[in-house]
Structure 1
Amino acid sequence: MAADTENIRQLESYLNFKARIKITDGRVFIGVFVCIDKQKNVILAHTEEFRGNEQRLVGLVMIPGKHLVSMETEDLDAVYF
């Protein structure tokens, strides 16, 4: 239980940081880390999506936890799922 509390505190410390998320199909999303739930679904705000050489603004996006490969915040800490 104490480990869960520490992990939650660590995730809370990353709120409102710019985050880069890679998902299983190879896309990368870069946006402001707003929320995560117990299923590891992540919400990013002001988000851009990168697919190969293509780039587009998607705004507010929810990324299902089952598709997360990695997540990095602007301080370059990586979290792998």
Structure 2
Amino acid sequence: MEQNIAAGKALGREEGAEFLRSLLDKGLRISTTDSRMFRGTFKCTDPDSNIVLAQTYEYRQPSLHKLAEEAATTVTTNQSDIPSELINTKVKMDMTSRYLGLVVVPGQHIVKIELEQFASQMRV
């Protein structure tokens, strides 16, 4: 399950600090302006809203070149051999990932922050 962190912005200074302390060592997913997503353990932040994550994986959308390659492998070169249902078929590829370790995500590029929680971790 996921919880959107937007509620933290509406809190006062003390409540905000306590909210951030409650997130320490928890799993976060951070989406950025360049369509990347970082998934890691929250370690700290600063007044500029930069966020430090440990044990971080970066996820990216596949490049247009890779999408074109995948589309080419699903379609034969002879147009007469293509079934009509494949002509309008969309190609879907999974996001690529890589392990980064310790990262600083610049606050100015953060679009969304989500807290990763499993049902077993949530309070009733």
Indicate the TM-score class for this superposition, using the shorter chain for normalisation.
Answer: 0.7 to 0.9
What residue is the counterpart of 2:113 in the other structure? Answer: 71
**Larger helix percent:** 2
CA distance in 1, matches of 2:59, 2:20: 24
Moved over 6 A (4+): none
- Superposed CA RMSD in Å reads 1.5
Structure 2-normalised TM-score? 0.58
CA distance in 2, matches of 1:7, 1:75: 20
Q: Which has the higher contact order (CA 8 A, sep 6+)?
A: 2
SS of structure 2 residue aligned to 1:44: strand
Give 1 or 2 for the bigger CA radius of gyration: 2
Task: Report deviation, 1:18.
Answer: 0.5
1:3 equivalent to 2:12? Answer yes
1:61 equivalent to 2:103? Answer yes
What residue is the counterpart of 2:24 in the other structure? Answer: 15
Structure 1-normalised TM-score? 0.87
SS of structure 2 residue aligned to 1:38: coil
Name the count of aligned residue pairs: 75
**Larger strand percent:** 1
